[in-house]
Amino acid sequence: MIMNNYVTGSTIKLLREQKGYTQRQLAERLMVSDKAVSKWESGRGLPDISLIEPLAKTLGISLAELLSGECIQNSNRHGNMYKSKFYFCPVCGNAIFAAGEGAFSCCGVQLPPLEAEEDDLEHGITIESIEGDLYVTMQHPMEKTHYISFFALVTSDRVQFVKLYPEQDAATRFPVRGRGYLYAYCNRHGLYSKRI
């Protein structure tokens, strides 16, 4: 599969201006001519692939942000686990956990961070204490087209993640590690959370 994304002239211009660089200053940092930068920004040319990584670094963004044209402002600079984000690929079912917001893609799809809703009656997360563990269950279909994809327990210093698959029970156990949030992801209805 060929990715359609490549850095655009408008993205380069916007980021250059945000950094306060002139075309000449950006060109000097990349060891190209200011005419080359002008051509990129006006859409009359594209930077060579060998310049993409140095361009991203010079502009102070990640390579993924440069190529997607979207800048991610991660307010979770200190890695507060309660500000963690989950990402889910609708094509292959890959689940990604990050200790903050980022730019992730899978199967050629740019993944947005999942927004958790409070547990509802339809999904009904049940938590019991058994032998010092938290036993988590849900009365939820576990079919190939409708299932709980994962459970995650996030506390102040760690995340515990359990991947589930269709036709197994929507249940798991977590060792108790203090207070936090339990998350469950339904492939049809999204992410649900419950405070522990």
What is the span of the domain harbouring residue 120? 81-195
Euclidean distance between CA atoms 184 and 101, whole angstroms: 19
Both 182 and 86 in a single domain? yes
Which of the residue ranges 5-14, 81-90, 100-109, 187-196 has the most confident prediction, judged by mean pLDDT?
187-196
CA atoms within 13 A on the CB side of 154: 21
Instruction: Write down the pLDDT at residue 168.
Output: 92
Alpha helices in 6-157 (DSSP H): 9-19, 23-30, 34-42, 49-59, 63-68
Averaged pLDDT of the chain = 84
Both 145 and 189 in a single domain? yes
Q: Which of 9-18, 34-43, 99-108, 137-146 has the lowest mean pLDDT?
A: 99-108
Both 153 and 99 in a single domain? yes
Both 97 and 154 in a single domain? yes
For residue 176, give the CATH number of its domain.
2.60.40.730
In a domain, 74, yes or no: no
Closest CA to 60 of 71, 46, 51, 49: 71
Is the per-residue pLDDT at 1 higher than 70?
Answer: no
Is the per-residue pLDDT at 28 higher than 70?
Answer: yes
In a domain, 1, yes or no: no
In a domain, 75, yes or no: no
In a domain, 93, yes or no: yes
Both 87 and 35 in a single domain? no
85 burial (CB, 10 Å; 0-12 / 13-18 / 19+) is buried
Both 103 and 182 in a single domain? yes
The number of domains in the chain is 2
In a domain, 127, yes or no: yes
Length of the chain: 196
For residue 62, give the CATH number of its domain.
1.10.260.40
Q: For residue 58, what pLDDT band results from cuts at 50, 70 and 90?
A: very high
In a domain, 76, yes or no: no
CB atoms within 10 A of CB 178: 10
Both 140 and 172 in a single domain? yes
In a domain, 3, yes or no: no
**Overall average pLDDT of the 136-157 stretch:** 91
In a domain, 94, yes or no: yes
